[in-house]
Amino acid sequence: MSDAKLQGVLSALSPVARQLNALPSNQPGRDANCVKLNTNENPFPLPMMVMQSALAALERHYLYPEDDNLSLRDAAANAYGLSQDQVIAGNGSSELLGLIYRAFLDPGDSVAMISPGFSFNRKLAMLQGARLLEIEWGESYSLPIEQLLLGPARDAKFILLANPNNPTGTFVPVDEIDRFVAQSDQLIVVDEAYVDFAPDDALRLVDRHSNLLILRTFSKGFAAAGIRVGFGFGHPELIERLRNLQNVFNMNVIGHAVGISILSHRADYHENHKYIKHERHRTTTALSQLGFSVIPSHTNFLLARVPPAQDGKWWQASLARQNVLVAVFPDSGLENYIRVSIGTRTQMDAFLSAARDIISGSMKTQS
């Protein structure tokens, strides 16, 4: 296709699509030996019974997956004490989040997110031509109920709350969420992606509030990030409307099989969660001794303020040179923070060793 023809094709893009920068086609591959602590994956293999279900599903590779995810939704309903019509299953909870944006937003509408929060919401709002209102957390990361009910967010089509929150790792007591949802007439979407590492969850509120939608994923607590299994729980009529928007065969046979198996073997993950919480505590203590200030976390990651003199990007680059990957964020107020996923003990020791080397080298340079 000639450049002139290409420009003609690109000019036919919608205004929203034209706003998005083209993605690079030659991104470098990741070093297989790197210590990957930047995307909050669970570092452990699937339990053997779950792995066997995935392998068995491969034998059905020539068949289309079950339409409307009926068996998976039924398994989730039984596992969580709900009815099947209160459950939607998705290709990760990110697919379900996208469905919510498509279902509720027209160009010019607004949606509210408690910020800092999941940055993907900015792109989802842009794709709908909507405005994302970012409402700051309250003191000590409490829920800013008055601002949400009486401020600019009162005109938003829905309000997003991640609990525990990403990237801070903080947790809002469920009773506080209960009071907020009861006072609001809007749809409240509670993203519980990290709830398996937290002290409580809000699933019991689904039968109490018709304006509540809870999202879950098996990516974090259940080590299935690459398989993409997520759920939404809410009022049957709301769930039905979202299901109507889903792509046909939106999940594959392996996702179905693994999701059903995980729901049957959730107890097999108790040691996994216990291990990650222990490493979270051990890493928090070690980082504090190195001069970092760590926000208490209820997730499988830590948000840590770096020692004085350097910022988060400097630390990210310095760790990357030692083959350790961590995340940083452009949000105002987070410039001096890094987010570190909790991996195996070996991975966390490698991260801490690299951090010690960086601090030691920095001190020598300063002297």
pLDDT given at position 23 = 59
Query: Residue 22's pLDDT is what?
Result: 63
The continuous run of DSSP H or E covering 232 comes out as strand 230-233
**b/e sequence 11-47, b meaning 16+ C-beta within 10 Å:** eeeeeeeeeeeeeeeeeeeeeeeebbbbebbbbeebb
Dihedral angle of Cα 114, 117, 122, 128, to the nearest 10 degrees: -60
Start-to-end CA span in the chain (Å): 59
Cα angle: 116, vertex 120, 135; to 5 degrees? 30
Q: How far apart are CA 359 and CA 274, in angstroms?
A: 30
Weakest-pLDDT range from 13-17, 27-31, 208-212, 279-283: 27-31
Separation between Cα atoms, residue 127 and residue 338, nearest integer Å: 28
Q: Report the SS3 class of residue 161.
A: strand
Q: What is the pLDDT of residues 196-221, one digit of tens each?
A: 999 999 999 999 999 999 999 999 99
> What pLDDT is attached to residue 254?
96
**Please, what is the average pLDDT of the chain?**
93
HSE of 119, CA atoms in CB hemisphere, 13 A? 10
Q: What residues have CB less than 8 Å from 118, skipping those under 6 apart?
A: 160, 162, 166, 191
Average pLDDT over residues 79-106: 96
Statement: residue 233 has pLDDT above 80: yes
pLDDT greater than 50 at residue 1: no
pTM for the whole structure: 0.92
Which residue in this structure is represented by tokens 């509720």? 104
Q: Cβ(153)–Cβ(185) under 8 Å?
A: no
Write the pLDDT tens digit of every residue in 302-328. 999 999 989 999 999 999 999 999 999
As given in the structure block, the two tokens for residue 295 are 């926000």
Percent of the chain with pLDDT over 90: 86
Number of Cβ atoms within 10 Å of the Cβ of 361: 11
Chain centroid to Cα 246, Å, comes to 20
Tokens of 114: 């408690």
Distance CA 89, CA 65 (A): 13
Per-position DSSP letters for 61-80, written without gaps between them: TTSPPPGGGHHHHHHHHHHH
- The model's confidence at residue 12, banded by pLDDT at 50, 70 and 90, is confident
pLDDT higher than threshold 60 for residue 363: no
CA 267 to chain centre: 22
Complete domains list, the chain, with CATH: 30-45+270-360 (3.90.1150.10), 48-264 (3.40.640.10)
CA pair distance 88, 234, nearest whole angstrom: 9
266-277 confidence digits (pLDDT tens): 999 999 999 999
199's enclosing H/E stretch is none
